[in-house]
């Protein structure tokens, strides 16, 4: 399932063809949305925004098209009218003079006013987006110590979109490993230095994934492994999906565990446990 960085990269492709362009024609496949065809026809796209796994197409009017891909939705960006061969159901088509942005299969699609956006059930619940450039490590630090979050294990907290939007399974393992912390620790177990490191790792790893096309491993390590002829699967992650292999940081063995039926990877040697936290 795509996580924040993958959603943002898909949004960049859509933004490249839609932003500042006039919607010359459009199709809204869901019956409840058909009445909005006239509302959006001829409007200009102001910007494309992502919030966690939701994509917002803002028009230069009071309207925004909200879409959430859930598990199965997929966007295609094509030259105008060049529909891909697919058995999927077309849900949204936005046509400019030269291009088409096509959304298939998704059903969580809404056309909302700016006011309705602020009360949308998903958007009003989620935390800040991990790729929001105005999000600082200090803001994250205060979020970690917020009473709503500080007593929850990092492993569960880091999948909660109300804590931070856009983190999924691979980012969870990669961030907690980068911060050098045992995933069963809670923010309240950590000292100020560890909290600061975790806040910084959260931003660094998320941003790295976005700019590198999904590689969260340190650039130097990934480059070296690539030059040795290793596959992308081998150099992409520092810890995720590497059960039984050597930790790139300390040489320890990568452990796989399962939490709420989702895979979690860690290294017992370089991720500080509760015992070490209290004795150190
Ligand atoms: Zn290690």
- How far away, in angstroms, is 150 Cα from ligand 1 center? 25
Please state the φ and ψ torsions of residue 229, each to the nearest 5 degrees.
85, 10
**Structure confidence at residue 160 (pLDDT):** 95
**What pLDDT score does 72 carry?**
81
Q: Where are the domains of the chain?
A: 4-118, 137-279
Architecture of domain 137-279: Orthogonal Bundle (1.10)
Q: If you measure from the C-alpha of residue 174 to the centroid of ligand 1, how many angstroms do you get, rounded to a whole number?
A: 12
Catalytic residues: 2-3, 53, 262
The one-digit pLDDT tens for each residue of the chain (280 residues) are 678 999 999 999 999 999 999 999 999 999 999 999 999 999 999 999 999 889 999 999 999 999 998 778 899 999 998 999 999 999 999 999 999 999 999 999 999 999 999 999 889 999 999 999 999 999 999 999 999 999 999 999 999 999 999 999 999 999 999 999 999 999 999 999 999 999 999 999 999 999 999 999 999 999 999 999 999 999 999 999 999 999 999 999 999 999 878 999 999 899 988 767 665 4
User: Ligand 1: distance of its center to the CA of 263 in Å?
Assistant: 18
Residues in Cβ contact with 147 at an 8 Å cutoff, skipping those fewer than 6 apart = none
Task: Give distance in angstroms: CA of 180 to centre of ligand 1.
Answer: 8
Q: Which residues contact 227 (CB under 8 A, 6 or more apart)?
A: none
Q: Rounded distance, CA 236 to CA 225, Å?
A: 10
Dist. CA 253 → ligand 1 center (Å): 7
Please, are residues 204 and 178 in contact by the beta-carbon 8 Å criterion?
Answer: yes
Residue 206, CA distances (Å) to 8, 187, 230, 240, 246 in order? 11, 19, 23, 14, 23
pLDDT given at position 277: 67
The pLDDT of residue 69 is 82
- Domain 4-118 and domain 137-279, same fold? Reply is no
Separation CA 225–CA 205 (nearest Å):
19
The reported pLDDT for the residue numbered 117 is: 94
pLDDT value of position 97: 98
The DSSP-derived string for the chain is ---HHHHHHHHHHHHHHHTT-B--EEEE-SGGGGGGHHHHTT-BEEEEEEETTEEEEEESSSEEEEEE-TTT-EEEEEETT-----SSPEEEEEE-SSEEEEEES--EEEEEEHHHHHT-TTTTT---BTT-TT--HHHHHHHHTSTTTTTS-HHHHTT-TTTSBT--HHHHHHHHHHTTB-TT--GGGS-HHHHHHHHHHHHHHHHHHHHHTS--S-HHHHHHHHHTT--HHHHS-SSTT-TTSB-TTT--BEEEEEETTEEEEEETTTSB-HHHHHH-
Distance 239 CA to ligand 1 centre (A): 9
Rounded to the nearest angstrom, the distance between the alpha carbon of 164 and the centre of ligand 1 is: 25
CA of 254 to the centre of ligand 1 (A): 7
Tell me which CATH homologous superfamily contains domain 4-118.
MutM-like, N-terminal (3.20.190.10)
């Amino acid at each position: 399932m795509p996580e924040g960085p993958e959603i943002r990269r898909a949004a960049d492709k859509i933004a490249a063809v839609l932003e500042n362009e006039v919607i010359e024609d459009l199709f809204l496949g869901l019956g409840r949305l058909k009445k909005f065809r006239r509302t959006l026809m001829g409007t200009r796209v102001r910007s494309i925004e992502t919030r966690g796994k939701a994509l917002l197409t803002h028009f230069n009017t009071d309207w925004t098209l909200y879409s959430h891909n859930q598990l199965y939705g997929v966007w295609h960006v094509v030259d105008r009218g060049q529909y891909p061969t697919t058995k999927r159901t077309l849900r949204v088509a936005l046509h400019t003079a030269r291009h088409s942005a096509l959304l298939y299969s998704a059903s969580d699609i809404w056309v909302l006013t700016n006011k309705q956006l602020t009360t949308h059930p998903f958007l009003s619940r989620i935390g800040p987006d991990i790729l929001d450039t105005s999000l600082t490590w200090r803001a994250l630090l205060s979020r970690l110590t917020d009473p709503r979050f500080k007593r929850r294990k990092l492993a569960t907290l880091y999948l909660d979109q109300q804590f931070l939007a856009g983190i999924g399974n691979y980012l969870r393992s990669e961030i907690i490993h980068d911060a050098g912390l045992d995933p069963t620790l809670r923010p309240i177990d950590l000292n100020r230095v560890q909290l600061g490191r975790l806040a910084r790792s959260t931003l660094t790893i998320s941003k790295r994934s976005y700019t590198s096309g999904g590689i969260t491993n340190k650039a130097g390590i990934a480059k070296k492994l690539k030059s040795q002829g290793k596959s992308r699967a081998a150099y992409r992650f520092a810890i995720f999906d590497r059960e039984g292999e050597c930790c790139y940081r300390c040489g320890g063995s990568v452990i796989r565990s399962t939490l709420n039926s989702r895979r979690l990877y860690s290294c017992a040697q370089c991720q500080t446990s509760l015992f070490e936290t209290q004795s150190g």
